Amino acid sequence: MELDPDRLLTAAAAFPPPEGVHFAYGTAGFRADASILDCAVFRAGIVAALRSLHTSSTIGLMITASHNPIQDNGVKIADCNGDMLCQDWEPFAESLANAHNPRDVLQVILDFIHKGNFFNSAASSGRVLLGRDTRPSGVRLLNAARQGVEAILGVDAAVMGVLTTPQLHWMVRASNRGHGASEQDYYSQLSHGFKCLLEMKPPGKGLITPWDGFIVDGANGVGASKLSRLQGIVKDLKLDIRNSGGEAEGLLNELVGADYVQKERKFPRHFGHLSELAKRCASLDGDADRIVFFYGEQAEGADAMNLRLLDGDKILTLFAMFIQNQLQELCSEVHEFPAINLGVVQTAYANGASTRFLKENLGIQVALTPTGVKHLHHKAAEFDIGLYFEANGHGTVLLKEEFLQVLRTFSPKSGTEGSRRSLQRLQAISEVVNQGIGDALSVLLLVEVALQYMGWSIQDWDSIYTDLPSRQLKVKVQDRTLIKTTDAETRVTHPLNLQAAIDVEAGKVSSGRAFVRPSGTEDVVRVYAEAGTQEEADSLARAVAIHVHELAKGVGAPP
């Protein structure tokens, strides 16, 4: 590769850094108020371009702030396998975003290039796919990213337009594997896998209650229109999509979306009719990489509905059971089939009841990582079949390439038609899931399949275990980076005394568990509490939030 310093300096001069702002590479890239992001996004374009040269592969760059409010925006980089940017590159991305002027930008790049064996391995040409969600600032910021990519000689910026984040990740992965990588290819692959799975459903299986589809909250974001397109292809999927971003429907992520439903435990806007709420409902987040499910349950003695949430933990458990069933059917009859290592990955937010169920009832290994799919994904990739989900509905299923190869080539000498079908089903599952990143559209399809195989209503699914009552709160502090954690974010090491205070509070309630961590996408400290009753979980969360406010210099009134 060859760096053209003049080209870079000229391009960088058009994107001066905002004064007094430090950009941190957070849980999923840079995220801030859109008005100050041009410079960071331009420079993220440079990072993506260099990564493309370094790996000799296509890289993706997505303009989105996912669950954040509409005035925010951000940038996520998809690496060559369609997963998040390799973490070794995060410090470089952060230094570059914070360089003071074009000369510093050039210097940071030169230092980085000279540090590793970049020149030895880098290609002379590269390609970055650029996508954006529906935020109004997206057009401007995508242009900044394009200019960043093109500031590096030999790298082509391919503008893919409005996409969900997982679609862009999928395209990067498909393109690097030499497969069809268009948006249409994405719909075709998912719908093909879905159709095969429904066709291979054992006779007699089906929903106990009449099949009536899902009512889906599109968070007024990009997911709604993409889901409509998918529905146009997958004829067997009945959907009533609301909050699609139309004029009268409201703002992106405002009182709608997966984050709102999961954190607030409230129905999204336009889900008002009591009779409807008992049906199967789902909510996407702003860029459709997360999904949660819910339904309404008549509140005792009241003319109102309680929201019953089926979060990422319930999705994970459903998928684990479905896949385990396929493996059991296969292995019990086809004795020569190699042993398969199935494992799941969760974070500290996982409800204790889900972890217990996975371990004790299903006998599945459970690993714990810090928050952020970038952590969960890599852990899950260690298993032949690795499933990961954050409680917020972000997750997917990974099938190791070697395992997929076995599925493709294995020809059973024993076993019934049913066990052979299990082989084909596992292959079809690999088509429906997005192996790059969590994908709300793909998860919706697989949930439908798994429920049909189990013959379960949403209420049956909900009842596989009972969540321990929990509560999440946010605390605004002067500098959230002063909060330091350890042990997969289950314990705080700084500020001193905070962990001791949390331990004392957790000890005051039955089955108490609580932790705090700085958010990597919002300017807040997150508090999670779990306990034997809802009142105890609420009071534990409040008490811990007050300690955070006191010991970590809270802003405004204590919670």
Q: How far is CA 144 from CA 276, 283, 534, in A?
A: 44, 31, 47
Q: Provide the mask over 286-315, with x wherever binding to ligand G16 is found by CB under 6 A and - wherever it is not.
A: ---xx-------------------------
Give the binding-site size for ligand G16 (rule: CB under 6 A): 18
Quick one: 290 or 425, whose CB is closer to ligand G16?
A: 290
Quick one: 394 or 547, whose CB is closer to ligand G16?
A: 394
Q: Does 231 bind ligand G16 (CB under 6 A)?
A: no
Applying CB under 6 A, the span of 130-138, 216-224, 285-293, 352-360 interacting with ligand G16 comes to 285-293
The gap between the terminal CA atoms of the chain, to the nearest Å, is 54
Applying CB under 6 A, the span of 124-132, 388-396, 459-467, 487-495 interacting with ligand G16 comes to 388-396
Contact 559/538 with Cβ under 8 angstroms? Answer: no
Among 17, 193, 520, 554, indicate the residue that binds ligand G16 (CB under 6 A). 520
Annotate 374-410 with three-state secondary structure. Answer: HHHHHHHCCCCEEEEECCCCCEEEEECHHHHHHHHHC
Quick one: 313 or 522, whose CB is closer to ligand G16?
A: 522
Q: Is 518 annotated as a binding residue?
A: yes
Per DSSP, the three-state class of 17 is: coil
Applying CB under 6 A, the span of 8-16, 132-140, 519-527, 529-537 interacting with ligand G16 comes to 519-527
Q: Is 471 annotated as a binding residue?
A: no
Pick the closest to residue 526 from 394, 391, 396 (CA basis).
391
Pick the closest to residue 60 from 129, 134, 144, 142 (CA basis).
129
> What is the Cα 201 distance to its own chain's centre?
28
Q: Does 522 bind ligand G16 (CB under 6 A)?
A: yes
d(Cα 164, Cα 289) in Å, to the nearest integer?
7
d(Cα 247, Cα 372) in Å, to the nearest integer?
33
Taking the complex as a whole, how short is the minimal distance between the CB of residue 28 and ligand G16, in angstroms?
Answer: 4
82: left (phi over 0), alpha (psi -120 to 50) or beta: left
Q: Where are the alpha helices (DSSP H) in 81-209?
A: 90-97, 102-115, 118-121, 138-150, 165-176, 183-199
Among 379, 521, 536, 545, indicate the residue that binds ligand G16 (CB under 6 A). 521
Hey, which residues between 423 and 482 contact ligand G16 (CB under 6 A)? Answer: none
**Judging by beta carbons within 10 Å of its beta carbon (0-12, 13-18, 19+), is residue 48 exposed, middle or buried?**
buried
Contact 124/1 with Cβ under 8 angstroms? Answer: yes
Quick one: 83 or 390, whose CB is closer to ligand G16?
A: 390
Applying CB under 6 A, the span of 145-153, 367-375, 419-427, 460-468 interacting with ligand G16 comes to 367-375
Q: Does 372 bind ligand G16 (CB under 6 A)?
A: yes
Q: Does 392 bind ligand G16 (CB under 6 A)?
A: yes
Q: Is 66 a catalytic residue?
A: yes
d(Cα 258, Cα 264) in Å, to the nearest integer?
10
Q: Provide the mask over 60-99, with x wherever binding to ligand G16 is found by CB under 6 A and - wherever it is not.
A: ------xx--------------------------------
Applying CB under 6 A, the span of 106-114, 236-244, 261-269, 521-529 interacting with ligand G16 comes to 521-529
Q: Does 191 bind ligand G16 (CB under 6 A)?
A: no
Query: Looking at 57, 66, 137, 430, which residue is catalytic?
Result: 66
d(Cα 549, Cα 559) in Å, to the nearest integer?
8
Pick the closest to residue 350 from 530, 535, 524 (CA basis).
530
Q: Is 285 annotated as a binding residue?
A: yes
Among 394, 421, 471, 513, indicate the residue that binds ligand G16 (CB under 6 A). 394
Report the amino acid identity of residue 473.
L
Q: Is 221 annotated as a binding residue?
A: no
Q: Is 146 annotated as a binding residue?
A: no
Measured in degrees and rounded to the nearest 5, phi and psi for residue 426 equal -60, -35
Torsion of CA 23, 24, 30, 33, to 10 degrees: -50
Quick one: 263 or 420, whose CB is closer to ligand G16?
A: 263
Q: Does 28 bind ligand G16 (CB under 6 A)?
A: yes
Q: Is 313 annotated as a binding residue?
A: no
Q: Does 489 bind ligand G16 (CB under 6 A)?
A: no
- CB within 8 A of 204, min separation 6: which ones? none
Q: Does 378 bind ligand G16 (CB under 6 A)?
A: no
Taking the complex as a whole, how short is the minimal distance between the CB of residue 347 and ligand G16, in angstroms?
Answer: 8
Q: Is 212 annotated as a binding residue?
A: no
Angle between helices 38-55 and 138-150 (to 10 degrees): 40
If residue 543 lies in a helix (H) or strand (E), which one and from where to where?
helix 534-551
Q: Does 373 bind ligand G16 (CB under 6 A)?
A: yes
Taking the complex as a whole, how short is the minimal distance between the CB of residue 372 and ligand G16, in angstroms?
Answer: 4
As annotated, the active-site residues are: 66
- Binding positions are 66, 285, 287, 289, 390-392, 517-521, 526
Q: Name the residues that contact ligand G16, by CB under 6 A.
A: 27-28, 66-67, 285, 289-290, 371-373, 390, 392, 394, 519-522, 526
